[in-house]
Chain A
């Protein structure tokens, strides 16, 4: 029993944190500072729980829930992502003050859903966990105070999300019809026999589309620009970091079911990969709103991750895992700068960054490194991530795919450099006062810079962990 509890430790910590936040949301008058400190403390406990649970292994809930290095890797990633996002919520300017505890509550329930999602090895459990995280995000997006852009974003997100869920459920029904089980282990054992039937491929593809929605891959990317722009900056940060990592985890788990035996599946994933990369990069070039640009760039990055996933080899999967970690770090760094520069919680135009290197040299430096990393320039983590993904695809014989990826990486350099140009070379139109950067923010900046460079130069430890984790599922 105690051992079982240890297996469930990160999730239990997350659930307790959600309950504590629910309690904190009840009083009529709230001390904003105190709520935030409590939340930070609880989230630190969660990270600790994630670390403690990293090397646990076992099954829970009648084999519907599998705890192994693969799931624990992503759970730790999610706990860290939540901690990081909460750390930039000290001044929650985009959201009304009295909804602050609820805001944290929904972030926590969303993380809980994703944590359960990466461990679920039974389709119904997986679906309910996915819905838990989606519901929380549906609520978080329109929570932004002020103009009505959030309502439009919220409604769009809700409708596209529900449609994706329906499509996913429909796909699951096909799989269940073919295999007569909702357990992934049983499906993996039986599905290769069925994989040449159209029904099985359709089922698997439709099921995957629910995750492609989360990942904002083509053709499920329509929500991304509006939601990124319309949601409060902190929520966008969360969607752009944690939610992507969870989606990658599930994509890996579900594509591993087919064991790489289906050529149709491979063709479709390849087409989606190319379309996501190209469309995302081309659309990002013409954006003037920084968050919209980052949204389209996330569509492109979904394509890069897919390249690792579609190889369906151990190398490909571990490189995709590394890429999702890299993406989380560098994207968080970029969004952190957005949140700090937009101190009033407003949307940020790229031109608003003018003169940032004088107003806040440290933030400008972090932004530059983050964007270089997103573009894939050494010695940053983004370069290593791309290199690993491309190498895995190359080894699997997808030369053309890698070529398209390379061209796309070059294309993306253009719009990332435009932002750096705005931050470093452009002079602001009027006099702009210096941005105050507090001590903790400073420390966060240094930590992020260090992480981006260190992981870029020495990826071995994390990569080995990822390789070890992939062995559990494939």
Chain B
């Protein structure tokens, strides 16, 4: 493939991903249904992953899809399902089974494409333009344990505070009810 064509394709890709990000963002903000808003968020996250690919950082794209699209979104789905009773559904008599089944389906629906796409990305990383040298895993690790080591370590303290806080506040609210 010629250099010029590649360049043009990169622009097309950029436009496509940008469209995904903006459309997803709009959907997330404008939708009245929480689930639809979350779908919008997922769309945006896919777009961002695409941007990472364009910037020749396949590992980050991989992480973006696996962690954000896969794990975090499922977590938010769980939070929505557990806090809100489903409305307008027939056969709500057997709630627990419903929730269990839906949770299973949700995990399946979100994780399957995520895993397939993530493996595809890693296995068949598209040849990118020579815009920037690829940020390899080793380089990333060196950055995290070198210049950014304090920030990296600090995140653990942030997580400690956040988790302890979630536990304390969660208990407090439940007792209040």
Q: Which residues of A contact B (CB under 8 A)?
A: 15, 18, 22, 25, 60-65, 96, 99, 102, 105-106, 109, 112-113, 116, 120, 122, 124-125, 127-129, 131-132, 135-136, 138-139, 142-143, 145, 183
Contacts and interface: CB of A to CB of B under 8 A. Distances in A.
B168 A102 contact: yes
Given A102-B164, A139-B168, A143-B169, A124 B157 contact: no
B150 A61 contact: yes
A131 B158 contact: yes
Contacts of A96: 172
- Number of chain B interface residues as a range: 10 to 19
A314 to B, nearest CB: 28
Contacts of A62: 146-147, 149
Contacts of B149: 61-62, 64
Contact of B165 (A15, A22, A60, A106): A106
B169 A128 contact: no
A15 B158 CA distance: 12
B170 to A, nearest CB: 11
B161 interface: yes
B129 interface: no
Q: DSSP class of B's interface residues: helix, strand, loop or mixed?
A: helix
B151 interface: yes
Contacts of A61: 149-150
B98 interface: no
Nearest to A105: B164
A339 B16 CA distance: 57
Given A64-B148, A106-B161, A125-B148, 14 more contacts: A64-B147, A96-B172, A109-B157, A122-B147, A122-B151, A128-B151, A128-B155, A129-B151, A132-B157, A132-B158, A132-B161, A138-B165, A139-B162, A139-B165
Nearest to A99: B168
B165 A124 contact: no
A304 to B, nearest CB: 32
Nearest to B148: A124
Interface of B: 146-151, 154-155, 157-158, 160-162, 164-165, 168-169, 172
10 contacts: A15-B157, A22-B160, A62-B147, A62-B149, A63-B147, A106-B164, A122-B148, A128-B155, A136-B165, A143-B172
A129 B154 contact: yes
A327 B58 CA distance: 50
Contacts of A116: 150, 154
A142 B148 contact: no
Contacts of A109: 157, 160-161
Contacts of B148: 64, 122, 124-125
A124 B160 contact: no
Contacts of B158: 128, 131-132, 135
B146 A132 contact: no
A135 B165 contact: yes
B150 A143 contact: no
B117 to A, nearest CB: 26
A30 to B, nearest CB: 14
Nearest to B159: A135
B154 A125 contact: yes
Contacts of A183: 147
Most chain A CB inside 10 Å of its own CB: which residue of B149, B154, B162, B169: B154
Q: Which 4 A-B pairs have the closest CB atoms?
A: A139-B165, A61-B150, A125-B151, A128-B151
Nearest to A119: B150
A8 B115 CA distance: 43
Contacts of A129: 151, 154
Contact of B150 (A15, A22, A64): A64
Nearest to A129: B154
